[in-house]
Structure 1
Amino acid sequence: MDDSTKKPSTSQTLDTKDVQVGVITDLDEGEVFLHQHGFAHETIQALLGDEPRNKSLVRRVDLVLLPLLAGTYTLQYIDKSALAYSAVFDLLSSTHMTSNEYSWLASIFYFAYLVAEYPWNILAQRTKLAKVVSGNLIAWGAMLMITAACSSFTGMAICRFLLGIFEAPITPCFMMIVGMWYTRSQQPFRAGVFYSCNGLGAVIGGMLTFGIGQIKTIAVWRAIYLILGGITVLWGILMLVFLPDDIVSAKRFSLEDKALLIGRSRLGRTGVINHRVKWYQIREALVDPQVWILFLFTLLNETINGGIANFSKLIIKGLTDDALTTVALAIPMGGFQIFYVLGGTFLASRFRNIRTIVMVLYLLPTIVGVCLMWKMNHETHKIGVLFGYYICGAYVCSLVLALQMPATNLGGYTKRSTGVALVFFAYCAGNIIGPHAFFSKEAPIYETGCKLIVACAAGQAALAVCLRLLLVSRNKRRDALVSSESFQGISEADEIADMTDFENPNFRYVF
Structure 2
Amino acid sequence: MSETTKKPVEGTSEEKDIQAGIITDLDEGGLFLHEHGFTSETIQAMLDDEPRNKALVHRVDLILLPLLAGTYTLQYIDKSALAYSAVFDLLTSTHMSSNEYSWLASIFYFAYLVAEYPWNVLAQRTRLGKVVSANVVAWGSMLMITAACSSFNGMAICRFLLGIFEAPITPCFMMIVGMWYTRAQQPFRAGVFYSCNGVGAMIGSLLTFGIGQIKTIAVWRAIYLILGGITILWGIVMLFFLPDDIVSAKRFKLEEKALLIARSRLGRTGVINHHIKWYQIREALVDPQVWILFFFTLFNETINGGYANFGKLIIKGLTNDPLETVALGIPQGAFQVFWILSGTFLASRIRNIRTYVMALYLAPTITGVCLMWKLPHESHKVGILFSYYILGAYVCSLVLALQMPATNLAGYTKRSTGVALVFLAYCAGNIIGPHAFLAREAPLYQTGCKVILACSSSQVALAIGLRLLLTRRNKKRDAAAGNEGGEGLSQADELSDLTDFENPNFRYVL
Amino acid at match of 2:284: A
CA distance in structure 2 between the partners assigned to 1:232 and 1:338 by the alignment: 22
Match of 1:121 in 2: 120
Match of 2:261 in 1: 262
CA distance in structure 2 between the partners assigned to 1:288 and 1:485 by the alignment: 25
SS in 2 for 1:268: coil
CA distance in structure 2 between the partners assigned to 1:490 and 1:375 by the alignment: 58
Query: Is 1:501 aligned to 2:500, yes or no?
Result: yes
Range 358-367 or range 485-494, more displaced? 485-494
Match of 2:379 in 1: 380
CA distance in structure 2 between the partners assigned to 1:486 and 1:49 by the alignment: 25
Cα pair 2:298 2:428 within 8 Å, conserved: yes
CA distance in structure 2 between the partners assigned to 1:317 and 1:374 by the alignment: 16
Amino acid at match of 1:506: N
CA distance in structure 2 between the partners assigned to 1:55 and 1:486 by the alignment: 34
Match of 1:147 in 2: 146
Match of 2:17 in 1: none
Cα displacement (A) at 1:289: 0.3
Cα displacement (A) at 1:491: 2.6
Where do 1:474-485 residues align within 5 Å? 474-485=473-484
Cα displacement (A) at 1:371: 1.1
Cα pair 2:40 2:491 within 8 Å, conserved: no
Match of 2:18 in 1: none
Match of 1:135 in 2: 134
Cα displacement (A) at 1:490: 3.0
Where does structure 1 lack aligned partners over 5 or more consecutive residues? 7-23
Cα pair 1:176 1:407 within 8 Å, conserved: yes
Cα pair 2:190 2:403 within 8 Å, conserved: yes
Q: TM-score, normalised by structure 2?
A: 0.95
Cα displacement (A) at 1:193: 0.1
Cα pair 2:284 2:418 within 8 Å, conserved: yes
Cα displacement (A) at 1:370: 1.0
**What's the CA shift string for 1:136-175, capped at 9, x where partnerless?**
1100000000000000000000000000000000000000
CA distance in structure 1 between the partners assigned to 2:379 and 2:457 by the alignment: 29
Amino acid at match of 2:96: M
CA distance in structure 2 between the partners assigned to 1:488 and 1:380 by the alignment: 68
Count of residues in correspondence between the two structures: 492
Query: Is 1:443 aligned to 2:442, yes or no?
Result: yes
SS in 2 for 1:26: coil
Where do 1:324-343 residues align within 5 Å? 324-343=323-342
Cα pair 2:106 2:434 within 8 Å, conserved: yes
Amino acid at match of 1:361: L
Cα pair 1:25 1:499 within 8 Å, conserved: no
Match of 1:194 in 2: 193
Cα displacement (A) at 1:374: 1.0
CA distance in structure 2 between the partners assigned to 1:340 and 1:25 by the alignment: 42
Query: Is 1:41 aligned to 2:40, yes or no?
Result: yes
Query: Is 1:296 aligned to 2:295, yes or no?
Result: yes
Query: Is 1:100 aligned to 2:99, yes or no?
Result: yes
**What's the CA shift string for 1:351-408, capped at 9, x where partnerless?**
0000000001100000111111111111111000000001000000000000000000
CA distance in structure 1 between the partners assigned to 2:487 and 2:50 by the alignment: 33
CA distance in structure 1 between the partners assigned to 2:39 and 2:492 by the alignment: 13
CA distance in structure 2 between the partners assigned to 1:201 and 1:493 by the alignment: 45
Aligned-pair RMSD on alpha carbons? 1.4
Cα displacement (A) at 1:486: 7.4
CA distance in structure 1 between the partners assigned to 2:484 and 2:400 by the alignment: 37
CA distance in structure 2 between the partners assigned to 1:84 and 1:431 by the alignment: 14
Amino acid at match of 1:210: F
Amino acid at match of 2:499: T
Match of 1:16 in 2: none
Match of 2:63 in 1: 64
Q: Percent identity, please.
A: 81
Amino acid at match of 1:137: V
CA distance in structure 1 between the partners assigned to 2:171 and 2:487 by the alignment: 37
**What's the CA shift string for 1:396-427, capped at 9, x where partnerless?**
00000000000000000000000000000000
Cα displacement (A) at 1:275: 0.4
Where do 1:240-251 residues align within 5 Å? 240-251=239-250
Cα displacement (A) at 1:492: 2.4
SS in 1 for 2:393: helix
Amino acid at match of 1:311: F
Where does structure 2 lack aligned partners over 5 or more consecutive residues? 1-7, 14-22
Amino acid at match of 2:343: G
Amino acid at match of 1:439: L
Match of 1:166 in 2: 165
**What's the CA shift string for 1:425-456, capped at 9, x where partnerless?**
00000000000000000000100000000000
Point out 4+ residue stretches in structure 1 off by more than 6 angstroms. none
Q: Say if 1:250 and 1:192 are closer, same or farther in 2 by CA, change over 3 A.
A: same
Match of 1:357 in 2: 356
Amino acid at match of 1:227: I
Match of 1:416 in 2: 415
Amino acid at match of 1:352: R
Amino acid at match of 2:322: A
CA distance in structure 2 between the partners assigned to 1:390 and 1:489 by the alignment: 49
